[in-house]
Structure 1
Amino acid sequence: MISYNIITGDTLTKVFQTIPGVGPDNLLTYRQVIILCITIIFTLPMSLYRDIAKLAKVSFISLILTTVILVIVMIRTTTLGPLVPKTETAWIFAKSNAIQAIGVMSFAFVCHHNSFLIYGSLEEPTLSNWSRITHVSVSLALFISVLFAVCGYVTFTGYTEGDIFENYCRDDDLATFGRFCYGVTIILTFPIECFVTREVIANVFFSGTLTTILHVAVTVIVVAVATSISLVYDCLGIVLELNGILSATPLVFIIPTACYLKLSEERWNHSDNLISGLILTVGVLVMTVGFVMTILHPQECSHGKEMFYCFPHNASLYNSTLPPF
């Protein structure tokens, strides 16, 4: 939820800056104002729903907008990519921060925390339906994520920011439309995470049932905490890394395999137990090493800075100083 607010603030401020008459001192150019307004007008009211099924149409709109954004990123790969100089180590297979990348990708794919809510919202909550939905949705997410990653990195290589739309120039109208779609997508996704957080709080502290007053109070507190943190911190990269390392990695690699090993009645050297043990070990290693590296070597953040290749004169000078490849 914190990362979604940061993305909203980063993205929509650049969209509003392109509106005629909106100058640098306009309130619409301050990310804090944007985050507060979006929270009060959109995300908080949507988060107050009790039934996650009410967000089905919202999720469908988000999927359509994601497709539009992907098309825009692919177009800019061919039109902007040749104008951006490639970094010297652009095509090295893996660098030292690959561990943090595993955490970020885990964060992108983690869906365990909302599984029960979504399963309960199905018209026919059967295991066969659930299996079909999860396989199709995760496969689609993998396909889209790979396209985003490849197109984004091919375009900007070592200059790629945690939020890829930070890389596009402010006067790029197509990218501005993409930013708008991206911001709307994030706004529509925010309530789903709030549903999960509220559900966990209800189960842990209130025996799974919230009165109307408690429902509203817990929702407001959760949204307020996430919003407060996102107002004072604006670098997306480290937020995604910490989310991935400390939350997603245990949910994806550690907790499921630990539960399986605990419940398994097979011998310790059974193939399923060995595979689970290997995944568990990798998960612990990724979480430990990734956390240390994230703290010691956080990703640089250039929030709000126009990239050098957005200025043709500077870009040509920069190109002339690059070593030959």
Structure 2
Amino acid sequence: MRAVISHMIMVHELPFSFVEYELFNIVMQSASPYYERIGRTATTKDCWSTYELEKKRVQELLNLVDKISITTDIWTSNQNIQYMVITAHFMDMDSKLQKRVINFVEVLPPHTGTCVCDAIYKCLQGWGIEEKVWTITVDNASYNESAVRLLHDSLSFHTTLPLEDGLSEIKSIIENVRDSVKWNVTFAMLSCALDFKQVFPRYQLRDPNYKCLPSEDDWQRVEEICSLLVHFNEVTKIISGSEYPTANSFLPELYSIKEILGQKSKSVEPWMKNMGQRMQHKFDKYWGSSNLLLSIAAALDPRNKMTFIQFVFPVIYSEKEATTQICIVHDAFFKPINGK
């Protein structure tokens, strides 16, 4: 019963003194006359014991797998304290996708690539999984590029970064809205802010210290940015699905992103054109050479076959490179292996 109570305390973020509430004890003793009152000190110890037990179970799961993908995110609380959450994603012995938060730690400013790299690497070492890391996904903060580079040198794994690099073109606008709302998910923040744009001027009237009211021109740009980021949001939902096969959808969705970026790169608005070009450059940089597994997965989809590869590669690659990459995928299917 004490173990269950400790879970309740932590899951619902209740105070340790909850177990001393009079009505709680009346309920417990009504349910079982054998229930004995416990104090906050004993409950604190029970919570630590439960934590250690759960940590041991997670460690046993991690010990059984060979490849682990890591995602990280840094966000700021309402108290202006910055935290990093590190999540491990892996397939268990029953081929089921598992997700576990393996660290939640305060990251003291200023944030640098070295600081973030050290925090992640210390976490991986603590769990003994530094040699099992398969991929790592980070948010779009500028220091993450150097952090990933340092991790690459330490762990020898390949990594990709998000496609939101071009958002630096409207950095001042995003910071104005973010300072008002205190969110760090760019699309969710901006789209929600749009719904409540009329509140911002009223907030300024009530708070003379509020100095970052977005202008009408800012709001117009925010609307255009949301019309772009909504595509990234939808693609992320599609390829992140864990209850259905997704590998065959990666290439079609990447193609749609490439096509959108191509359109934005030719925008008549200079700021949108610059942003689109920066994002397209980042796309081309991290896409690199053909990811053969994604291409094979797409071609094996009976709705696509090799016809789809021949259609999208000229968009993703230059004309010469597209021909080469199409041949690579074709040979993977048809080229004889060991003369057979």
TM-score, normalising length from structure 2? 0.22
Larger Rg: 2
Higher relative contact order (CA 8 A, sep 6+): 1
TM-score, normalising length from structure 1? 0.23
Q: More strand by proportion, 1 or 2?
A: 2
Q: More helix by proportion, 1 or 2?
A: 1
